[in-house]
Amino acid sequence: ATLFLLGFTLSQFAEEAKVFGKKRVLLLLSVAMGALGVCLTLTRSAWLGGAITVAIAFGRVKKSWGAIALLIMATMTATGLYSESTFNQRLSSDVSVNGQSIEIRQELWDANWRMFQDFPYLGIGPDQNIKKLDSYYEEAKFKYHVIDRAHSNALELLSSRGIFVAIFYAIFSGYFLWIAYWLSIRQSAGSLAAGVGAGSLLAQIYFHILGLVDSNFFDQEVKNVVVWVWALTAAAYGRSQKRETA
């Protein structure tokens, strides 16, 4: 949600956009302060995904802004690591290597991949990939036996629903990334639609980056936000198409 607002705000800095006028900077600062609060709760994959997405956000407005954003984030990270603060404690815990956490995730990935190999077309069944983890752990003689989701949207779908659903999800996600990008570069669609497209694009990029190492689509709160972003993007795209053909 924060990155959606950031993308929407930055789109108004385009030369054609006249929506916010002098208040644009204040809005950008407000989003930045909100983002700082969110950052203090992030885990390591979310830190990396956020950094990549923020750099893309500013770089799409001006390349120099993207470079400056990267420099600022690098400076903040370096400063945070060597300062006595809450930010330092949070950042240090996120960037430190936790061997056990990595091994647990590797076991989850391995077990879910084995399920997909056993049931490639229709999957083992919704939530059955969780219920039957123990039997796959025993068969492979894994160490930790942690019962959890696959920690990857792709693997979660492949193991529980099969290849056909996973392909549909990839096409569906790609379509909404494309229409969000289309909206973000079409100033003829209006600054509001362009803002929705830019915000949606950043939110989706962030969502899919995290989805590489987490089953975030299967978290109900995250899913609700993603579906809302998709619906808003579809509505803005449909309105823009009607406007262009009118």
Query: What integer pLDDT is reported at residue 90 of this predicted model?
Result: 55
Task: Specify whether 226 is located in the same domain as 122.
Answer: no
The percentage of residues in the chain with a pLDDT greater than 70, rounded to a whole number, is 68
Q: Is 9 exposed, middle or buried (0-12, 13-18, 19+ CB in 10 A)?
A: buried
Task: Specify whether 157 is located in the same domain as 168.
Answer: no
Task: Specify whether 70 is located in the same domain as 141.
Answer: no
pLDDT tens digits for range 222-241 = 888 899 999 999 999 988 88
End position of a domain, from candidates 161, 180, 205: 161
User: Collapsing DSSP states into helix, strand and coil, what is residue 96?
Assistant: coil
Decide: 8 and 196 in contact? Cβ < 8 Å: yes
Task: Specify whether 149 is located in the same domain as 198.
Answer: no
117 pLDDT exceeds 80?
yes
Task: Specify whether 24 is located in the same domain as 77.
Answer: yes
Task: Specify whether 143 is located in the same domain as 113.
Answer: yes
How many domains does the chain fold into?
Answer: 2
Q: Give how far the C-alpha of residue 217 lies from the chain's centroid of Cα atoms, to the nearest Å.
A: 10
Task: Specify whether 149 is located in the same domain as 68.
Answer: no
Q: What share of the chain is helix, strand, coil (3-state, %, to 5)?
A: 80, 0, 20
